[in-house]
Structure 1
Amino acid sequence: MRDSRELAGAWSRFQSHGFVPPPPDLADLVSRYWWARWNLRGEPDYVQLIVPYPSVQLTLSTDAPPLVRGVCRGRIRRTLSGRAAVFGVTFRPGVFRRFLNAPVDSITDRAVPATTVFGEDLPAPDPAALLDTDPPAAAETMATELGRLLRARRPPDDPVGDEVAGWVSDIAATPDLRRVDHLTSRYGVGARRLQRLFAEHVGISPKWVIRRFRLHEVTQRMATRAAAEPIDWAALAFELGYADQAHLVRDFTNMFGEPPTSYAARY
């Protein structure tokens, strides 16, 4: 049976999270900082669904060493237990190649020690502050400290990576981009080179990125509709370029691990 804490946002009783925007001088590298904390003492573990994005993450946790997490191609389920917190940096898709000094697809579906990327003397702030103080204020302080780290470790500019990052932003903002051939025509690059550049700088295929951002529109539609307002799935499938509703549901289920109606029940 389904954990009742998954439904209708009941997870917010024991978990909270938030975001901190990057300062202007790091906005070309960082999409956002984020934090989460939970308290499950005296309760069973909770399996959390995390939706994947084409972004590399640096995570600092109270219950794990600092990690660099590559892009995950499929659904992510993490087990939360006890009382803990995590602070993260979401890097802008396309830019982490310059930090990693290797193709980003070399860490796809993997997590590696952050020290292997940022050095053994990684001056990481302590996410325990999120547990014992006002979390938004603690997160602002941690973002400031990590900003110093990123400025100190800032790699040389990478014009190719910046171009690919611009393509990903364009895909996110342009609903009409639904197929790889739309990208090759728009950017004037062959399909093989496009695939190679995405593997090198994003860590995932352009087809995956397109699908992820089109499905993001589905979750946005769920979030903005009135509670009693039904979604016309057939019309939405057509609007997003799917042949029919069944294809939309299949893609959504493959990406998120459950059909859209079950996902909607969480929130």
Structure 2
Amino acid sequence: MAPSSTQTPALSCTNPTSGFEAALSQRAVLLPQHIGQTFQLSRYPVGESLAPWAEFHWIVEWDLPEADCHLQQVLPYPNANLAFEAGQTAIHGPSHGLFTRELRGRGRVHGLRFKCGGLRPWIECPMSALRDTVVPAIHCMPHGSDIARIEAQVLNAAHHDEAIARVEAVLSERRPPFDPWVERLDTAVHTIQEDRDITTTRALLQRLNLCERAMQRVFSNYLGVTPKWLIQRARIHDALQCLAVEHETPLVQIGARLGFFDQAHFTRCFRQHTGQSPQQYREALRTESRVRSIRE
């Protein structure tokens, strides 16, 4: 699926698409201090054969003492993912809530993140049908694929590049026709994530040059989420990043900068997406930093 209390460290990434893309990956992780400490997060670009539909491979690895258990939470992006995990390989649709994973012992998960809308040409239903669901991986693999065998080959690969090559070889066997909507929507979503001034659906309508009804229909079909939710999720990701690096900035200033009407609006939206208030999350970050300082 950062030891410093004054700055957020770089991810363990190889050839990321851009520096901004690496930051995007990190700001989705709650309590990002654990990256590089409790678990390793690596990311690699996709090859040309999958580039029209997928963004990158991500690999999470951990090796914890036998008695240790770590509960990691991630606030997912609106992308669908194909995740190879021991006995649990599956497609994860866009998720409205937090993704929580318990890490024990030693393990690895190899994921392929599709572009926003990139999974739609591979499946026979609108993405709204996959919202908050996990479905069998066979839906995007060649007919008759031995999922257990492919899973073992990917997860037991000696090197990341071997695992990546195996994933891409399998999926390349049933690539769907090119769909121009994928690139158009993926570009729009990245614009929302990069531009904090986009805080309303009206601003998004102007970027896509669509009427509101058409935009709602396209989002349901290709993304599985509403435009309003997408904008809110992007701004909450911004908030997580701000809280991780701006330890003393008043919450009201952070909320105003991200386009929330007032502190109550900011708190309500933050709680809807993360299950806690901005102040509670800030306190959790401080507690984690103090614990790590004691251990070190």
Structure-1-length-normalised TM-score: 0.83
1:132-185 CA-to-partner distances (Å, cap 9, x unmatched) read x5xxxx222212222222322211011233322232222222222111122223
Pick aligned residue for 1:253 from 258, 271, 275: 271
Describe the shift of the 1:14–1:160 C-alpha distance in structure 2 as closer, same or farther (beyond 3 A): closer
Describe the SS at the equivalent of 2:266: helix
Of 161, 166, 186, which residue of structure 2 is paired with 1:145? 166
| Equivalent of 1:240 in 242, 252, 258 | 258
Contact 1:125-1:142 at 8 Å conserved across structures: no
| Deviation of the 1:9 alpha carbon | 3.0
1:81 corresponds, among 96, 104, 129, to 104
- In structure 2, the partner of 1:66 is 89
Question: Unaligned regions of 5+ residues in structure 2, if any?
Answer: 1-29, 290-296
State the distance in 2 between where 1:36 and 1:181 align: 37
Report the Cα offset of residue 91 of structure 1.
Answer: 0.6
- The one-letter amino acid paired with 1:241 is G
The structure-2 alpha-carbon separation of the partners of 1:213 and 1:55, relative to structure 1 and needing over 3 Å to count, comes to same
Pairs aligned (count): 252
Question: Counterparts of 2:135 and 2:38 in 1: how far apart (Å)?
Answer: 29
Q: Give the counterpart of 2:207 among 178, 181, 186.
A: 186
- Is residue 57 from structure 1 mapped to residue 81 from structure 2 by the alignment? yes
The secondary structure found in structure 2 opposite 1:19 is: strand
Residue 191 of structure 2 corresponds to 170
Give RMSD over aligned pairs.
Answer: 2.5
Cα shift at 1:26: 3.2
User: Does 2:155 match 1:114?
Assistant: no
Which runs of no fewer than 5 residues in structure 1 stay unpaired?
1-5
Per-residue deviation at 1:25? 5.0
Q: Distance in 2 between matches of 1:191 and 1:7?
A: 37
Native 8 Å contact 1:87 1:139 kept in 2: no
Q: How big is the shift at 1:21?
A: 2.0
Q: Percent identity, aligned pairs only?
A: 26
Q: Quick one: distance in 1 between partners of 2:181 and 2:41?
A: 34
Are the counterparts in 1 of residues 79 and 94 from structure 2 also a CA contact under 8 Å?
yes
Q: Distance in 1 between matches of 2:32 and 2:184?
A: 40
Amino acid aligned to 1:28: P
Contact 1:94 1:168 in 2 (8 A): no
